[in-house]
Amino acid sequence: MSVLITGGAGFIGSHLVDHLLAETDDRIVVLDDFSTGSAANLTHLETDRLETVDGDVRDDSLVADLVADSDVVYHLAAAVGVKTIVEHPLASMRTNLKGTENVLEAAAEDATPTFIASSSEVYGKSEAVPFAEDDDRVYGPTTAPRWGYATAKAADEFLALGHHAEHDLPVVVGRYFNIVGPRQSGQYGMVIPTFVEQALAGEDLTVYGDGTQTRSFTHVAEAVSITHELLTTPDAHGEVFNVGAPGPTSINDLATRVIELTNSDSGVTHVPFAEAYSEDFEEPDEREPDVSKLRDVLGRTPTVDLDRILRDVIDERADEVPAR
């Protein structure tokens, strides 16, 4: 079987490549423009079952050709990270909307099973924690750049569900909740790799806001395993699923735990969101998934705890961060 993974050189995408190579006999084609992904994420793989195509998911003819040659599609390519979205709002919207539209239209031609990667950002600043897939969404004004990403991801979901309803496309939407693990870069505002690198370097950990905001973190190995299983489960087709681990942690507690596990003498510096981003930046207070639907369909949910996630990231970074 031939599998197309858009964004396959990215953090989550490269782990999905690892998983599929290990668990299946599939031939895998990765489409990536390497804007946020990295060829280095795939260099450990030496196999003739993997092909990499350097290209843009917004290129409709390229996407159409690659999807036509595929039996299954995982669409993970997207503009990622709060920093990217705030600094490049127009490019982010175009990538997330046009890319998904291209993939879905091509997949609909032959009813090719397709996974669409969405995000917990679609819940906006709702306070109905934990979030269930059919909960209402609450967004801020269009003048706040952050909500452009949430809006684009919600539109991606509407496109996916519309193709399922009108074309019987076997599609699954997965809303990722703070997926973390080895290979993740802190360059785009990801908190755990940033904290770990700061702690290992003996620098103060930078906490934006007052640090009381909470997030639920999910190990990337479990996220890609669930992603694969959802697309191969017929009962999941035409549905939206939270892909995340329950059990939120405040950013202040996260910083403390990183310092403890790295045996660092780092402190913590709080920086206002307005100073880090802009005066109109909004940060949700809580993000926690309700995983009842995932449990009902797959019979399991993510279980890897935060300490294991942190240790995996610390072990990877320990040899990369210059000694003090």
The pLDDT assigned to 132 comes to 97
- Of the pLDDT bands very low, low, confident and very high (cuts 50, 70, 90), residue 168 is very high
| Residues whose CB is less than 8 angstroms from the CB of residue 190 and which lie 6 or more positions away in sequence, other chains included | 81, 180, 184
State the burial class of residue 249 (Cβ atoms within 10 Å of its Cβ: 0-12, 13-18, 19+): middle
* Alpha carbon distance 10, 295 (integer Å): 27
Averaged pLDDT for residues 287-308: 97
Q: Where are the beta strands (DSSP E) in the chain?
A: 2-6, 27-32, 50-54, 72-75, 114-119, 171-176, 179-180, 205-208, 214-215, 218-219, 239-243, 249-250, 268-271
Bridge pairing between strands 214-215 and 249-250: antiparallel
Query: May I ask the CATH class of domain 2-179+218-243?
Result: alpha beta
* Alpha carbon distance 158, 172 (integer Å): 12
Does the pLDDT at position 259 exceed 50?
A: yes
Question: pLDDT for 16-57, tens place per residue?
Answer: 999 999 999 999 999 999 988 899 999 999 899 999 999 999
The pLDDT assigned to 324 comes to 47
Question: pLDDT for 146-167, tens place per residue?
Answer: 788 899 999 999 999 999 999 9
Mean pLDDT of the chain: 93
The pLDDT assigned to 143 comes to 84
* SS3 state at 292: helix
Domain ranges in the chain with CATH number 3.90.25.10? 180-215+247-288+304-318
Query: May I ask the CATH class of domain 180-215+247-288+304-318?
Result: alpha beta
CA distances from 100 to 155, 160, 239, 278 (A): 9, 8, 16, 29
Roughly what angle, to the nearest 10 degrees, separates helices 306-318 and 191-200?
Answer: 50
> Which are the catalytic amino acids?
149
- Of the pLDDT bands very low, low, confident and very high (cuts 50, 70, 90), residue 82 is low
Bridge pairing between strands 218-219 and 171-176: unpaired
Domain ranges in the chain with CATH number 3.40.50.720? 2-179+218-243
